Structure 1
Amino acid sequence: MGGINMNLYFELLKTPIFKVEDVNKFYNNVDSARSAIKRLMKENMVVRIRNNMYTCISGETRQPIANRFQIACNITPTSYISHHTAMEYYGITNQVFYEVYVSSETSFREFEFDGYIYRYIESKGDEGVDKPAFSGGIRVTSPERTMIDSIKDMDKISGMEEVIQDISCMKNLQEKRLLSYLERIGNQFLYQKTGFLLSKQKEQLGLSDIFFKECQNKIGKSKRYLSHDITDGVYDSQWKLVVPSDLNVKNGVIEDAAI
């Protein structure tokens, strides 16, 4: 390797993800910058993630420097990790999905890199999106917003069983934040699902009776199924929901032969 390319490689190691424009700062010539990237790729020192998005390969592990969370947060200027991927980031779930859920104000074409598929979810605003210190530029929904988003999109993404397991692993949620997100979305069905599911772990989550009363006041009169997965259920009159007939949660596992 030439000295210039090694110097460039060590500069690029300082950032998990880079673009041609970042390399061009060292050249002031786009063609030269592109050529430099190609040379580094040929030497297996850099890998292309997707169009104009690159990361270095570690000399020690021979793996990409950027992790899936950092990649997700660099796909668009507004992208952040949410739903099950945010649960993974917080260590709430032990189950690794090979799908990375990325919320963004602008859409992007889904792609695969290093064994993970990056899925686009339309962003519903950036309230409750945090930027953890020393994370390498990660943007992630707060635990409270992650909980509400996961319940809202339960049938689209994780499924009822996974969401219940995630709830059982969470502790001490801030109910003011939960109510803020619920109010912003303003969906009666979401109040029903949230009230029912979180009431099963009320003490562990640190939620007061006031929280559940607020939810009950917003559920309206409609009777609904908790999930489209339910084929044999019973009616919960408190939340006006049809729920699995023997829904018992033990260590985060649904004990229900009907599912």
Structure 2
Amino acid sequence: MKYYEKLSQMGTFEMKDMIAIINNASTVKSVLKEYLGKGYIIRVKKNLYAAVNLSTGNTFADRYQIGCAVAEDAYLSHHSAAEYYGFANQVFNEIYVTTKKKIVPFEYNNTRYTFVSPELYAGVISPETRRGIRVTDTEKTILDCINNMDRAGGLEEVLKIIESVTYLNEQKLIEYLNEFDKKFLYQKVGYMLEKHANDLRLSQKFFEHCQSNIGKSKRYLIAREELLRQEYNSKWNLIVEGRLSDILGQGGGELV
């Protein structure tokens, strides 16, 4: 167990990390084989290992840390970021990781790791309280979830995530929205956040900014075939689910 303590402090590691610790490339393979055989470490995927807590039998790294370890630029996003912050209503058996690196999805310990190409890199932080974690900040998390609701559990789950948030920095939201530069996203964000404006401390100017960028196209909030009762919201030029517009208090003329 000569190298176990250093490996356990790292949590997750690659072959290059073992070479740096052992300082003898010819010894690394034998140590790796020994530690795997004795259960000191486990193989997560090709060239990614995790040290095992011998007292509990679990890895020192949790599933979020493992997700962030797959690439140097990898970070938690979408529903996984919402889970990390405690905003999510559900905990999925799938971790969403954003990275420029092309990585084949894999499963480990009953969790599927899915990789997403970044649309923009703004809004990624490394919390001081958790080693090895990179995650979108609250504002980027909300925008990512609204931008791609399929990666956040669907519309109703996204609404529950929004309800769990107590504050959003509108300057950050505007900065990220401008970088996304997507009219549809301005529509969805304005519609879905407006009811919670007071709770989230968003000013009227924020919604005016969103509305000024929505364009003239009428769009469906979710896929047309998923709408049980279509309703048109004229302010945001969106065709929405009537049941949810009742919940949000944003009615409109029902489509005929």
Aligned to 2:40: 45
1:23-80 Cα deviation digits (max 9, x unpaired): 2224333231121011011111110011111111111211111111111111111110
What is the identity, as a one-letter code, of the residue corresponding to 2:202? L
Secondary structure at the counterpart of residue 33 of structure 1? helix
- Partners of 1:130 and 1:38 lie apart in 2 by 36
Q: Which residue pairs with 2:254 in the alignment?
A: none
Mapped contact 1:155–1:227 kept (Cα < 8 A)? no
- Among 146, 152, 168, which residue is 2:163 paired with? 168
2:53 to 44, 53, 58: 58
| Bigger mean CA offset, 89-98 vs 138-147 | 89-98
- Alignment partner of 1:123 is 2:118: yes
Amino acid at match of 1:144: E
TM-score scaled to structure 2, two decimals? 0.92
1:243 to 223, 240, 243: 240
Question: In 2, distance between residues paired with 1:221 and 1:27?
Answer: 62
Partners in 2 of 1:69 and 1:94 — Cα distance?
A: 17
Letter in 2 for 1:93: A
- Distance across 2 between alignment mates of 1:106 and 1:73: 12
Q: Supply the distance in 2 between the matched residues of 1:241 and 1:67 (Cα, whole angstroms).
A: 40
Alignment correspondent of 2:178 = 183
Match of 1:149 in 2: 144
Which one of 2, 11, 15 corresponds to residue 16 of structure 1?
11
Aligned residues: 245
Higher helix content, 1 or 2: 2
Partner of 1:256: none
Provide the rounded CA distance (Å) in 2 between the counterparts of 1:177 and 1:89. 20
| 1:211 Cα deviation from its structure 2 partner | 0.5
Aligned-pair CA distance for 1:157: 4.3
Give how far 1:156 is off: 5.0
Report deviation, 1:125: 2.9
- Cα 1:84–1:180 shift into 2, 3 Å: same
Instruction: Decide which moves more: 113-122 or 18-27.
Output: 18-27
In structure 2, distance between residues paired with 1:10 and 1:16: 10
Report percent identity of matched pairs: 37
Displacement of 1:7 after TM fit?
Answer: 2.1
Contact 2:120–2:179 (8 Å) recurs in 1:
no
**Secondary structure at the residue paired with 2:187?**
helix
What SS does the corresponding residue of 2:9 show, helix, strand or coil?
Answer: coil
- Using the TM superposition, give the Cα deviation of residue 155 of structure 1 relative to its aligned residue in structure 2, in angstroms: 3.7
- State the Cα RMSD in Å: 1.4
For 1:235, give the aligned amino acid. Answer: Y
The 3-state SS of whatever aligns with 1:136 is coil
Question: Using the alignment, how far apart are the partners of 2:195 and 2:22 within structure 1?
Answer: 59
What stretches of structure 1 of length at least 5 have no aligned partner?
1-5, 251-259
1:196 corresponds in structure 2 to 191
TM-score by length of 1: 0.91
Distance apart, 1:11 and its partner CA: 1.8
Segment drifting more, 227-236 vs 210-219: 227-236
Match in the other structure for 1:257: none
1:69 aligned partner: 64
**Which string of whole-angstrom CA distances, capped at 9 and with x for unpartnered residues, describes residues 65-119 of structure 1?**
1111111111111110000000011011131011100000111010011111000
User: What one-letter code is carried by the residue in structure 2 that aligns with 1:89?
Assistant: Y
1:101 aligns with 2:96: yes
Equivalent of 2:203, from 203, 208, 223?
A: 208
